[in-house]
Structures are given as C-alpha cells and as structure tokens.
Chains A and B, each alone.
Chain A
C-alpha cells in the first residue's frame, strides 16, 4: 500500500489529505507537499490523517518540521482526525501534546 496526498483549499484554509502508509519511502513526498503548502496557506494548514494506516519516525519528523515551518511563517498547523495508528506513535514518542488536533 502506497501513499496518496491530496491538496485542497477552502474558506477555512488549506487542507492536505494523507491516505496510506508514511515511512522512509513515502515521507519525502509528504514533506515536500507540506513545506510547499505552508508559505501559501492562508488561514492555516490542516493535515487530514484519518486514512493513515501506518506512520514511522520519519513521518512524525515530517509533521514536526511542518509545524516548525508553519510557526516561522506565522500560520496555523493542525492535525485533523489522526487515525489510531498515528495517535499511537505520537503518544509513544510523547509528541501528542505539541500538535493542535481537531
């Protein structure tokens, strides 16, 4: 199972929807998509993780990097509906509290 990344724009801001497995093979694509979207994300950037079936530390590092970049650009960075697979790794890494989740 690979990774699908869809970008969309609404009145609430930019949304990146991620479906599939995020690992060392696929996280560079997600990293590019997030870092490209941050500067132009008016109203903030939301990352929909509901369809993520697996995430490793490179995927978590990608989200942390996105959060840092968003802060530098003074824009919001939110995780939307993170799947149990994502929450389990965020909690294991003790990084669940640094993200805004909705």
Chain B
C-alpha cells in the first residue's frame, strides 16, 4: 500500500507521557467507524499495549526513540500498524499463549500486553521492521 492510501500516520517520541494523547486519537478515529463501544475500548487498549511494548522493550524505557502508528480503514478491516527502530523483541515474547486464570502462587504479570493484543484483534502479525526494529500489524474485522 502506498503511504498516501493510508488514512493516518503518526510519529511519536517513545515517551510514556504521550500514551494518553495517542489513545485519544485512536479512540476518536475508531469511533468514526461503526464499531461497538466495547470493542473500540479494547482496540484502544491493545494499541496502547503495542506502544507500551515498543517503549519498554525496543527502547528499554528510553524516551528518545520513535514509534510510528498507522491507521487505515480497508474494505473489510480496520488496520493498525505500530513500528519502532529499537531492539528486536525475541520471538518467544510475542507468541500467543492462552490467557488462563493463574494459580495464586504463580501470578506472573509480565507479558500480558502481548496476549491482550492477540485477544482483541482478528489478525496479528509481528515481524522485523524494514530498517531494523519491530513492526506489528493488527486487523479488526469491520463487520463485528
């Protein structure tokens, strides 16, 4: 897809303080399509999680990296892409695992964000970015 065919592209510094305005933008863009409120909330969360992962893992918490968000309404899907130019995340970190209520003694809070992304979207693809770093594309069926 050519750049101009995408609805919206945003380049954001990898600063956690900017997560809130990014969520506002995603929320209002998703609301402009006929998406159920509950699903829209989950999409905002999952995009936030993809951003958070880039900040925490690709840039190890540094605020001087950049994270790029692309939003596009295709015929059948709303498509989201989050990419960074930081450290490549190991493949075992981005695998889908079932979310099960954990036993009290083995509560492991880590890795939850990735699992939420897998749960919210119909299609999720993680791959290395073209210029290094990571890229994740997430698709939501519009007929939901």
Interface contact tally, CB-CB below 8 A = 68
A24 with B99: CB separation less than 8 A? no
**19 A-B contact pairs sorted by A residue (CB < 8 Å):** A21-B20, A23-B19, A25-B19, A56-B45, A56-B49, A56-B52, A57-B112, A58-B113, A61-B112, A65-B109, A67-B107, A68-B107, A88-B38, A88-B41, A92-B42, A92-B45, A92-B119, A93-B115, A98-B107
**B: number of interface residues (CB 8 Å):** 28
Which residues on the A side are within 8 Å of B23 (C-beta)? 23, 54
Which one of A1, A24, A97 contacts B101 once the chains associate, using CB atoms below 8 Å? A97
Residue of B nearest to A97 (CB): B101
Q: How far is the CA of A71 from the CA of B103 in the complex (A)?
A: 13
For the complex, would chain B's binding face be called helix, strand, loop or mixed by DSSP majority? helix
- Could you tell me the distance in whole angstroms from the C-beta of B110 to the nearest C-beta in chain A? 7
Asked if A60 is at the interface of the complex by the 8 Å CB criterion, the answer is yes
**A: number of interface residues (CB 8 Å):** 26
- Could you tell me the distance in whole angstroms from the C-beta of A95 to the nearest C-beta in chain B? 7
List residues of A whose CB falls within 8 A of some B CB: 1, 21, 23-25, 54, 56-58, 60-62, 64-65, 67-68, 71, 85, 88-89, 92-95, 97-98
Which one of A24, A61, A65, A89 contacts B45 once the chains associate, using CB atoms below 8 Å? A89
Which one of B20, B41, B102, B119 contacts A23 once the chains associate, using CB atoms below 8 Å? B20
B101 with A57: CB separation less than 8 A? no
Which one of B38, B99, B113, B120 contacts A94 once the chains associate, using CB atoms below 8 Å? B99
- Could you tell me the distance in whole angstroms from the C-beta of A70 to the nearest C-beta in chain B? 11
List residues of B whose CB falls within 8 A of some A CB: 16-17, 19-20, 23, 38, 41-42, 45, 48-49, 52, 55-56, 99-102, 104, 107, 109-110, 112-113, 115-116, 119-120
